[in-house]
Structure 1
Amino acid sequence: MSQTQIAPVSMEVDAPRAMSNRLILTMAIACGLAVANLYYIQPLLADIGRSFSVSVGQIGFIATLSQLGYASGLLLIVPLGDNYNQRKLIVGMLVAVTVALAAVSFAPGVIFLAFACYALGLTTVVPQLIIPYAASLAPAPMRGRVVGTVMSGLLIGILLARTVSGFVGTYLGWRSMYWIAAIMMILLAVVLRFLLPDDRAPKGSTSYPRLLQSLWGLWRSQPVLRETGVFGALVFGSFSAFWVILSFVLETPPYHFGSEVAGLFGLVGVAGALAASVVGRFADRGEARHANGIAISITLFSFVLMWLTGQWLAGLIVGVLLLDLGTQANQVASQSRVYSLIPEARNRLNTVYMTLYFVGGSLGSLLGTWGWSLAGWNGVCGVACMMLLLALALYIFNSKRMSR
Structure 2
Amino acid sequence: MTPSQTRWITLLLAITSAMAVATVYFAQPLLESMAAELGVAQQQIGWVVGATQAGYAFGLLLIVPLGDLIDRKRLILGQLLFSAVALVGVGMAPNWSVLLLALASTGLMAVMVQVMVAHAASMAAPGQQGRAVGTVTSGVVLGILLARLVSGGLADVAGWRSVYLVAAGLLMLMALVLWRTLPSGQRMAHGPGYRALIAAQFSLYRHDRLLRQRGLFGVLIFAAFSVLWSAMVMPLSAAPLALSHTEIGLFGLAGVAGTLAAARAGRLADQGLGERSTGLALALLVLSWLPTAFVEHSLIAFVLGVLMLDFAVQAVHVTNQSILLAGRGVMASRLIGAYMCCYSLGSGLGAVLAGWVYAHWGWAAVCGLGMAISAFALGYWLWLQRARAAEAALQCSGQNL
- The verdict on a shared fold, with TM-score over 0.5 as the criterion, is yes
- The equivalent residue for 1:109 is 95
Task: Deviation per CA, 1:333-377: give whole Å up to 9, x if none.
Answer: 111011115321111111110001110110000111111112111
Cross-structure match for 2:398 = none
Per-residue deviation, residues 82-131 of structure 1 (Å, max 9, x unmatched): 11111000001101101100000110111111111111111111111100
Q: Give the whole-Å Cα distance in 1 for the aligned partners of 2:381 and 2:321.
A: 16
Task: Say which SS state the counterpart of residue 286 (structure 1) adopts.
Answer: coil
- Asked if 1:376 is matched to 2:362, the reply is yes
The 3 A distance-change label for structure 1 pair 234 and 200 is closer
Which amino acid letter does the alignment assign opposite residue 307 of structure 1? A
1:147 aligned to 2:138? no
Find 2:271's aligned residue among 270, 285, 294.
285
2:42 maps to 1:56: yes
Helix, strand or coil at the partner of 2:128: helix
Amino acid at match of 2:161: R
Contact 1:234–1:387 (CA<8 Å) still a contact in 2? yes
Q: Percent identity?
A: 37
Normalised TM-score (structure 1): 0.93
Q: Distance in 2 between matches of 1:200 and 1:68?
A: 28
Q: Distance in 2 between matches of 1:252 and 1:72?
A: 34
- Give the match for residue 219 of structure 1: 205
The equivalent residue for 1:241 is 227
Q: Which range moved further: 216-225 or 156-165? A: 216-225
| Structure 2: distance between partners of 1:84 and 1:255 | 51
- Does 2:248 match 1:262? yes
Does 1:228 pair with 2:224?
Answer: no
Query: Which range is displaced more, 283-292 or 52-61?
Result: 52-61
Where do 1:138-177 residues align within 5 Å?
138-177=124-163
1:362 is matched with: 348
* CA contact 2:128–2:270 (8 Å) conserved in 1: yes
Shift in alpha-carbon separation, 1:267–1:309, aligned structure 2, 3 A: closer
Quote the offset at 1:58 in angstroms: 2.3
Gaps of at least 5 residues in structure 1 are: 1-14
Tell me the matched-pair count: 389
Query: 2:330 is matched with which residue: 344, 347, 371?
Result: 344
Residues in 2 aligned to 1:402 and 1:79: alpha-carbon distance in whole angstroms? 31
Preserved contact between residue 247 and residue 258 of structure 1 (Cα < 8 Å) = no
User: What is aligned with 2:177?
Assistant: 191
Aligned AA for 1:109? Answer: N
The separation in 1 between residues aligned to 2:294 and 2:248, in whole angstroms, is: 20
1:208-235: CA deviation from partner (whole Å, max 9, x where unpaired):
2211111232222222111111111101
Change (3 A) 1:318 1:214: same
Please, which of 129, 146, 165 is the counterpart of residue 179 of structure 1? 165
Q: Secondary structure at the match of 1:29?
A: helix
Q: Which residue of 2 aligns with 1:9?
A: none
Q: Aligned partner of 1:229: which letter? A: G
Residue 368 of structure 2 aligns with an amino acid whose one-letter code is G
Deviation at 1:247, TM superposition (A): 1.3
- Shift of residue 254, structure 1, vs aligned partner: 3.1
Q: 2:194 aligns with which of 208, 219, 229?
A: 208
> Would the aligned equivalents of 1:17 and 1:137 in 2 still touch at CA under 8 Å?
no
Kindly state the Cα deviation for residue 271 of structure 1 after the two structures are TM-superposed. Answer: 2.9
Residue 383 (structure 2) aligns with: 397
Is 1:170–1:260's contact at 8 Å kept on the other side of the alignment?
yes
Q: Secondary structure at the match of 1:269?
A: helix
Contact 1:163 1:260 (8 Å CA) reproduced: yes
Which of residues 15, 29, 32 is equivalent to 2:18? 32
Identify the match of residue 53 of structure 2 among 67, 70, 80.
67
Tell whether 2:275 aligns with 1:302: no
Q: Distance in 2 between matches of 1:271 and 1:357?
A: 20
Structure 1 234/18 Cα, relative in aligned 2: closer, same or farther at 3 Å? Answer: same
Asked if structure 2 preserves the Cα contact closer than 8 Å seen for 1:83 and 1:204, the reply is no
Aligned to 1:140, the other structure's residue is in SS state coil
Structure 2: which 5+ runs fail to align? 390-401
Letter in 1 for 2:28: Q
| Alignment correspondent of 2:258 | 272
**Aligned 8 A contact 2:44 2:356 in 1:** no
Distance 1:35 1:306 in 2: 25
Q: Residue 46 of structure 1 aligns to which amino acid in structure 2? A: E
For residues 60-80 of structure 1, what are the alpha-carbon distances to aligned partners after superposition, in whole Å with 9 as ceiling and x for unaligned?
Answer: 212211111111111110011
Distance 1:213 1:18 in 2: 37
- The two structures have a TM-score, normalised by structure 2, of 0.93
Deviations 1:128-181 (CA, angstroms, capped at 9, x unpaired): 110011000001211111111110001110111001100101111111110110
> Contact 1:19–1:137 (CA<8 Å) still a contact in 2?
no
2:70 is aligned to 84
Matched residue type, 1:213: A
| Residues 218, 342 of structure 2: 8 Å contact kept | yes
More deviation in 198-207 or 212-221? 198-207
